[in-house]
Each structure stands twice: as C-alpha cells, then as structure tokens.
Chains A and B, each alone.
Chain A
Amino acid sequence: DAGITQSPRHKVTETGTPVTLRCHQTENHRYMYWYRQDPGHGLRLIHYSYGVKDTDKGEVSDGYSVSRSKTEDFLLTLESATSSQTSVYFCAISESMTRGRETQYFGPGTRLLVL
C-alpha cells in the first residue's frame, strides 16, 4: 500500500469555523490532489499540487485553499466552513501527471461534518 495518511479521519465542526485537513505521504511523489466525494457526484477535484509551493485549482475550488511547504505534506483549508462542505475528503498522490496513464494512490479519507 502507498504510504498516505490523512488527519483527522473524522471531524465535526460548526459553520463559520476554519478547518484544516492534512495529507502526508512517504512515497516522495511529486503530485498531490484533494478530492471530495458526495453521493451522486463521484469524486470531484478541489485542488492539486505539482511541486512544493506549486498548486492549481480543480473544478470545485471555491471556499478552499491549499498549501504545500514540503514534498510530503499537502494541507487543505476551509477558511469558513459551510454545511455544503460536509463531505468525505480524499487525498491522492501520483508520480507524474503528463501521460494520462498514471496511477493515483488514494488515502483513507477524512469524513467532515459541518453543523
């Protein structure tokens, strides 16, 4: 199994509070991703990173920010959580992102409930 951990695994928070989710990898892969998974929508890309301090937006980036100060860590921040951000969040990693054949390895997920 790829070495990917996510923390916390479960979190309950209140509307308007900031929340930070952490993804940590031990594979030294260059690319890291944050997805959210909701019923009927599959997985949707929030943000991704192609190197330290290099990030870009995905299809559902509004209300989220990310940071990557080290190869192994990718943080997802909800600046002011809303109930629509209740979801399961997955981190993924891959060695490259240029050939369309890469394997993405997913973490175990973080279940976030915003009340």
Chain B
Amino acid sequence: TQLLEQSPQFLSIQEGENLTVYCNSSSVFSSLQWYRQEPGEGPVLLVTVVTGGEVKKLKRLTFQFGDARKDSSLHITAAQPGDTGLYLCAGGENSGTYKYIFGTGTRLKVLA
C-alpha cells in the first residue's frame, strides 16, 4: 500500500508569515492533488499537478510536484486567517482505474 506522509502535522503561525507543507512518499504517483478542508465540511480541491517538476500558483499558494513524482510541496506566502484549515495531499495511482491515496494531513492555524 502506498503511503503519503505530510509534515508538519500541525502548524500555528502569525498572519503575514510564510509557510511550506510537505507531502512525501517512496512511491511514484501519476498525479498529485491538494485539498483544503474546513471543520464540519468535506475537502475541497485546490489544485492537481501531473508532470514531474510542475509548479502551479493560485494567488498566494504555490504548489510543486517533485521531479520524480514522489513528493510535493505547498507554499503559502503572507498567510491570512482565512487560510486556516486542514490541508490534504492525495496521490493518484493508476491500477486500471485511478484511485487516490490521501496523506495524513497538515492542520494549519493562522493567528490574526
């Protein structure tokens, strides 16, 4: 079974600070997704990256897929309280049909 480890597990920072969340595996994935989940709700997709080395930016969020497609990072610039939530990475594996293996999650709290 492929595993995705996220670090750190918990992160509490002040508004305006920068942060990076990591998603690592020993396995190769066909794609990598990042989700954000708020309390009492389901996860919501932020981005999908599919090519090794790919970088995508969404406003203050920068996502990178590792060259070997085994790892990914999420960087947030100038964090805001609205960024607070649980961030989940999910690796896509192709075993005939695609299924997604979810990481263990990073819980972020941004203090005003």
Q: B-contacting residues of A (Cβ < 8 Å)?
A: 4, 35, 40-45, 48, 50, 56, 58-59, 90, 92, 97-109
User: Which of B13-21, B58-66, B99-107 is found at the contact surface with chain A?
Assistant: B99-107
Contacts of A45 in B (CB 8 A): 99-100
Q: Are A102 and B98 in contact (CB under 8 A)?
A: yes
Q: Which of A41, A58, A100, A108 contacts B31 (CB 8 A)?
A: A100
Q: A-contacting residues of B (Cβ < 8 Å)?
A: 1, 4, 6, 30-31, 40-45, 48, 50, 88, 90, 92, 94, 97-100, 102-105
Contacts of A108 in B (CB 8 A): 40-42
Whole-angstrom distance between the alpha carbons of A35 and B92 in the complex? 15
Q: Name 9 A/B residue pairs within 8 A (Cβ), A-sorted.
A: A42-B6, A42-B104, A43-B102, A45-B99, A48-B99, A97-B98, A100-B94, A108-B40, A108-B41
Q: Which of B41, B88, B92, B94 contacts A43 (CB 8 A)?
A: B88
A18 to chain B, nearest CB (A): 25
Known: A106-B43, A107-B42. Is A100-B50 also a contact (CB below 8 A)?
Answer: yes
Contacts of B45 in A (CB 8 A): 103-105
Contacts of A4 in B (CB 8 A): 42
A35 to chain B, nearest CB (A): 8
Whole-angstrom distance between the alpha carbons of A70 and B100 in the complex? 24
When C-beta atoms are compared, the residue in chain A nearest to B91 turns out to be A100
Q: Are A104 and B103 in contact (CB under 8 A)?
A: no
When C-beta atoms are compared, the residue in chain B nearest to A109 turns out to be B42
Whole-angstrom distance between the alpha carbons of A108 and B40 in the complex? 7
Known: A100-B92, A101-B48. Is A43-B97 also a contact (CB below 8 A)?
Answer: no
B21 to chain A, nearest CB (A): 13
Contacts of B92 in A (CB 8 A): 100-101
Q: Are A106 and B97 in contact (CB under 8 A)?
A: no
When C-beta atoms are compared, the residue in chain A nearest to B42 turns out to be A106
Whole-angstrom distance between the alpha carbons of A48 and B92 in the complex? 15
Q: Are B42 and A42 in contact (CB under 8 A)?
A: no
Contacts of B100 in A (CB 8 A): 45, 104
